A and B are shown apart, each in its own frame.
Chain A
Amino acid sequence: MKKIKFLLVGILFGIVMTKSEAISWYRIYEMFTFQSFHMYGIIGSAVGLGIILIQIIQRTGTKSITGNDIQFAPKSKTYPRYIIGGTIFGLGWALTGACPGPMFVLVGNGFLAMLIVIFSSIIGTFLYGLLRDKLPH
């Protein structure tokens, strides 16, 4: 029962992604052609408020629900992986109009085509796992 909170937050995520239309291939195309402010507004305001809230957590030393310190693990500082991996992901994001969150939300919206995207993205992750020792990071 402790885990039901993750289900509820996930439901809220599915609703906000659908109602904001951030799961729409059309909106992603508009974003990458700079024809609409909508997606920039969503990401920008999410990050803007996110920065403020994380600063508040860090400066007040807010504890997590279990009473532990909240840790923010820094990302590793090796850059090839971010730019190369990021570019590969960007190609797929623009092509399908979906990133990993929206793929699942779209299945809930009844788009069964996304099950194919989900399945092949699992295969893609598997291929990365096989090749990672040979890739520059």
Chain B
Amino acid sequence: MLELIKEPWPWYFSGPVISIIMILLIYFGKTFGVSSNLRTFCAIGGAGKFSDFFKFNWKAQTWNLIFVLGSVIGGFISTEFLNNGEPMLLSAGVMEDFKAMGIANPGASILPDELFGMEAIFSIKGLSMLIIGGLLIGFGTRYAGGCTSGHAISGLSNLQFPSLVAVIGFFIGGLIMTYLIFPFIL
């Protein structure tokens, strides 16, 4: 059983587990949406002095911070105890792309060391990627009022048309980055 759990989980198992997480949070009287926590962090840090957007009762969001803390612990448990150490099986079609980007062993771990390892953090290019990426994520999710969990999972499950528009936006941005910007930076 444990050996089976240590294998990568197939999509048809993982997707329904995510639905169940969403439903549990709904049953607990909350909603599934991770990016809201970024606004909470701003409020905790005193951003309310600069914008009314951050003047809200963030203590009512403590449950979501606890959820995020749990997700960090879940990541730790997975990598420490539920990991069989096998490399990822990536599709053949993208292996050449990764090699061309200078990634020596694509799939050896869950993120490429060349982009997210210690050496990358201390390079101008690597650090800029992380900082700019984060800025776009934080700005974009709040502007759109949600991220993958809030719009793609919760919103679409509740048949919200605005969420479909947001998800189309996610893809426009993702395709621009992948096809128009990556060729110049990677």
Contact = CB atoms under 8 A, between A and B. Distances in A.
A117 B35 CA distance: 13
Interface in A101-128: 101, 103-114, 116-128
Contacts of B14: 16, 19-20, 22, 42, 45-46
A137 B14 CA distance: 34
B69 A110 contact: no
A110 B79 contact: yes
A26 B130 CA distance: 16
Contact of A33 (B13, B20, B94, B140): B94
A31 B163 CA distance: 19
A93 B129 CA distance: 11
A9 B31 CA distance: 12
Given A6-B63, A101-B148, A130-B50, A125 B42 contact: yes
Contact of B137 (A3, A99, A111): A99
Tell me if B's interface is mostly helix, strand, loop or mixed.
helix
Interface string A3-34: 10111111111111111111111101111110
Interface residues of B, number: 125
Q: How many residues of A sit at the interface, in one of the four size bands?
A: 35 or more
A132 B51 contact: yes
A100 B34 contact: yes
A108 B73 contact: yes
B134 A117 contact: yes
A90 B72 contact: no
Interface in B154-186: 154-163, 165-178, 181-182
Contacts of B88: 21, 24, 26
A8 to B, nearest CB: 7
Interface of B: 5, 8-31, 34-35, 37-39, 41-42, 45, 47, 50-51, 53-54, 62-64, 66-79, 82, 88, 90-91, 93-94, 97-98, 106-107, 110-112, 115-118, 120-121, 126-127, 129-145, 147-149, 151-163, 165-178, 181-182
- List the 6 shortest-distance A-B pairs measured between CB atoms, nearest first: A14-B74, A86-B169, A10-B70, A90-B173, A124-B138, A108-B75
Interface of A: 3, 5-26, 28-33, 35-51, 53-54, 57, 62, 64-66, 68, 70, 72-77, 79, 81-101, 103-114, 116-130, 132, 135
23 contacts: A3-B63, A6-B70, A9-B21, A12-B70, A19-B5, A47-B156, A50-B19, A70-B26, A74-B160, A85-B140, A88-B136, A88-B140, A90-B176, A93-B148, A94-B174, A98-B133, A100-B137, A104-B34, A104-B71, A109-B79, A124-B137, A124-B140, A129-B53
